[in-house]
Amino acid sequence: MHQYMTSQTRGQTFFSLFSKGQSNSRCRSLRSYVICTVFLLLFLCYYIIPNEMSASWAITVGLLLPEKLATQTINASLNRVSAVTSAERWKPPEPYYVAYPYKYNLVLNEPEKCQKENPFLILMVPVAPSNTAARDTVRSTWGSERLVGDKTVNVLFLLGLPTSEDRETLQQNLLQEREKYHDLIQSDFWDSYYNLTIKTMVMLEWLSVYCQNASFAMKVDADMFLHVKNLVDMLQSAPKQNYMTGLVARNAMVIRNPTSKWYLPKTVYSQPLYPPYALGLGYVFTLDLPEKLIKAAQHVKSVYIEDVFLGLCMTHLGIPLTDPPDGSLFNVFPVQYNRCRYSKLIATTTHSMRDQVEFWKDLQKPGPYC
């Protein structure tokens, strides 16, 4: 994934090459002079080659190196990838490429949210910057349930940068929305489908910095119906660390049909099966995991399917996913509304925002559920 090298690594590549040449020939004979001249030329070229060309140049240097040395060099540059910062923006060199690990900055933040409210559970909702309607729907339904028994629940929305033509207006509106609700976290990557992995990683980074004291976090899509009380009830008896649950997919086949929304080419992920992963519509985890997952992500090739990527990181960490206590709690297909059924589940997709609002309102009404 990370084909470029840092200038430091390139420097090392050169010097290991140079000192090897020096020890073998001491530049005495004419032949040695020629070799030395070649090295000198290489040296000069190396340092005058403009930045744009250095990636391909590094490959050329790599070809001259013994394979083992080259691998080590590439490995070293991979391990150092998290240190590559702000110098310049890069564009994805190939489709399905994810610009992560990379340092993104927060544009909108609520740094004191967790400190002030000390939540037991924090709900993190990824949503497109322009989708105010979805945010308002969440705020008026399950997002309004801030206290369950003595447990505080917080909701934050995760945004990237708007990509549309009217982005300046959109950003202005977001500033107003922030003043009103104080529930927006925005980072400086382009908000797009293929950047959802970045959004998830920024979420984990945010949690590890600003919300370590919460017990649980849930990533939940804005178009879900969520039963907050049932969720909190389940979590009261859940493990306190190394815990991630939701609808866990096991032995799922990788989709190789290029027209699918979830297509992954073999060049990006070669295994035929995905690792176990919790479906992205809603997964819950303990707050010790964000830091571990961020570390793992430095070593795992990123894929744009965010939940699969977290599954890969969990596999890397050797932490198994936990199935929910009951298979009907999390639902990937919209469950038909029925007061009794909905009073027992935790999360389900819905057909529309209107459904989401109606089901939630109906469940608030007093009276028996079943």
Residues 191-220 close enough to bind ligand NAG by CB under 6 A: 192, 194-195, 198, 213
Q: Judging by beta carbons within 10 Å of its beta carbon (0-12, 13-18, 19+), is residue 370 exposed, middle or buried?
A: exposed
Choose between 190 and 262: whose C-beta lies nearer to ligand NAG.
190
Residue 190 lies near ligand NAG (rule: CB under 6 A) = yes
Choose between 91 and 365: whose C-beta lies nearer to ligand NAG.
91
Q: How far apart are CA 247 and CA 99, in angstroms?
A: 27
Cis peptide before 129 (omega within 30 of 0): no
CA angle 323, 114, 196 (to 5 degrees): 55
What CA–CA distances, in Å, run from 136 to 5, 157, 223, 225, 253? 44, 11, 11, 14, 36
Q: Which of 3, 19, 56, 79 binds ligand NAG (CB under 6 A)?
A: 79
Question: What is the closest distance, in whole angstroms, from the C-beta atom of residue 184 to ligand NAG in the complex?
Answer: 18
Choose between 72 and 82: whose C-beta lies nearer to ligand NAG.
72
Question: What is the closest distance, in whole angstroms, from the C-beta atom of residue 291 to ligand NAG in the complex?
Answer: 14
Choose between 89 and 261: whose C-beta lies nearer to ligand NAG.
89
What would the x/- binding string for ligand NAG be over residues 134 to 173, using CB under 6 A?
A: ----------------------------------------
Choose between 195 and 350: whose C-beta lies nearer to ligand NAG.
195
Question: What is the closest distance, in whole angstroms, from the C-beta atom of residue 237 to ligand NAG in the complex?
Answer: 21
In this structure, the strands spanning 121-126 and 216-220 are parallel
What CA–CA distances, in Å, run from 83 to 6, 8, 50, 189, 313? 9, 11, 21, 18, 19
Residues 331 and 345 sit within 8 Å (Cβ to Cβ): yes
DSSP code for 252? P
Token pair, residue 7, equals 């200038």
Among 11-19, 33-41, 86-94, 254-262, the segment contacting ligand NAG (CB under 6 A) = 86-94
Quickly list DSSP for 281-348. TEEEEETTHHHHHHHHHTTS---S-HHHHHHHHHHHHTPPPB--SSTTSEESSPPPP-HHHHTT-SEE
Choose between 189 and 359: whose C-beta lies nearer to ligand NAG.
189
Question: What is the closest distance, in whole angstroms, from the C-beta atom of residue 206 to ligand NAG in the complex?
Answer: 13
Question: What is the closest distance, in whole angstroms, from the C-beta atom of residue 79 to ligand NAG in the complex?
Answer: 5
Residues 15-74 close enough to bind ligand NAG by CB under 6 A: 71-72
Q: How far apart are CA 53 and CA 51, in angstroms?
A: 5
Size of the site for ligand NAG (CB under 6 A): 16
Question: What is the closest distance, in whole angstroms, from the C-beta atom of residue 343 to ligand NAG in the complex?
Answer: 34
Q: Which of 122, 155, 152 is nearest to 136 (CA)?
A: 155
Q: Which of 142, 157, 189, 342 binds ligand NAG (CB under 6 A)?
A: 189
Q: How far apart are CA 282 and CA 159, in angstroms?
A: 17
Choose between 97 and 142: whose C-beta lies nearer to ligand NAG.
97
Question: What is the closest distance, in whole angstroms, from the C-beta atom of residue 52 to ligand NAG in the complex?
Answer: 16
Question: What is the closest distance, in whole angstroms, from the C-beta atom of residue 101 to ligand NAG in the complex?
Answer: 13
Question: What is the closest distance, in whole angstroms, from the C-beta atom of residue 71 to ligand NAG in the complex?
Answer: 5
Q: Which of 86, 88, 84, 63 is nearest to 73 (CA)?
A: 63
Q: How far apart are CA 52 and CA 63, in angstroms?
A: 19
Classify 245 in phi/psi space as left (phi over 0), alpha (psi -120 to 50) or beta.
Answer: beta
Residue 115 lies near ligand NAG (rule: CB under 6 A) = yes
Among 40-48, 190-198, 247-255, 325-333, the segment contacting ligand NAG (CB under 6 A) = 190-198
Question: What is the closest distance, in whole angstroms, from the C-beta atom of residue 189 to ligand NAG in the complex?
Answer: 4
Residue 105 lies near ligand NAG (rule: CB under 6 A) = no
- Segment (H or E) for 168: helix 167-181
Binding site for ligand NAG (CB under 6 A): 71-72, 75, 79, 89, 91-92, 99, 115, 189-190, 192, 194-195, 198, 213
